[in-house]
A and B are shown apart, each in its own frame.
Chain A
């Protein structure tokens, strides 16, 4: 990332401004449901139609997206086009750094069938003033983290399950106040 501060709202706005159809997943989705974990990137699952991939590529170019890699703090330039995303296998994860922070795009997160699967239970929320996005249900965030099984996911899972229990006990499992 450049010197500008991490700004998930700006990343999500860039996607929304270009009309990208996507579901937010991962730690930031959990935060919107009420989690207290620390997350320093944004994970999105775009719908995979040709038109949407065009919109996605435009939004990512607006954000100055580059491939994230340890050796190059500024990231590596890549062919940020609809073709690039079209040619990826469904389980690919594209880890990027942008002018507004780290952004990961995946079409089929672990344990899920991708956009159509996640959007079924996703909830539309206002993540910022006039910024409405689809956020994966907390159950689906948990399902994905269970399947991914990374150390950081395993650490977060007891807390996320506790939050889910809490929301259910309150009679809500939606990211509303």
Chain B
């Protein structure tokens, strides 16, 4: 890998051990040497998630557990029905 990337083996060793934090350029070279490409994408924060946090954070932990239980039961019921339909 070090040879393909054209960097000293000791550099790769130090990155692997956590002794060195690689620059973005170095990450790109190493990833390319492994036959892969780096891609970075930026996206807008989802305002829907924030409004959901608003709601859950107003509730007590016990209420959050109860809410999550109802959602999980709905999901599990759906999974069971799908499995039954595919079996039948």
Distance in angstroms between the alpha carbons of A163 and B45 in the assembled complex = 12
A8:B68 contact, CB within 8 angstroms: yes
Majority secondary structure of chain A interface residues (helix, strand, loop or mixed): mixed
Complex interface: chain A residues within 8 A of B49 (CB): 36, 159, 162
Majority secondary structure of chain B interface residues (helix, strand, loop or mixed): helix
From 67 to 86 in chain B, residues with beta carbon under 8 angstroms from any chain A beta carbon are 68-69, 71-73, 75-76
Complex interface: chain B residues within 8 A of A7 (CB): 69
Q: Which of B45, B56, B61 contacts A127 (CB 8 A)?
A: B61
A34:B50 contact, CB within 8 angstroms: no
Minimal Cβ-Cβ distance residue in B for A32 = B61
Complex interface: chain B residues within 8 A of A176 (CB): 60-61
* Interface positions of A (Cβ within 8 A of B): 5-9, 28, 31-32, 34-36, 38-40, 101, 125-129, 131, 135, 159, 162-163, 166-167, 170, 175-177
Distance in angstroms between the alpha carbons of A32 and B67 in the assembled complex = 10
Q: A34-B57, A162-B50 are in contact. List 17 more A-B contacts (CB 8 A).
A: A5-B76, A6-B72, A8-B65, A28-B65, A28-B68, A32-B61, A34-B53, A34-B56, A101-B72, A128-B62, A128-B65, A129-B62, A159-B49, A162-B49, A176-B60, A177-B57, A177-B58
Distance in angstroms between the alpha carbons of A126 and B50 in the assembled complex = 24
Minimal Cβ-Cβ distance residue in B for A127 = B65
From 21 to 72 in chain B, residues with beta carbon under 8 angstroms from any chain A beta carbon are 45, 49-50, 52-53, 56-62, 64-66, 68-69, 71-72
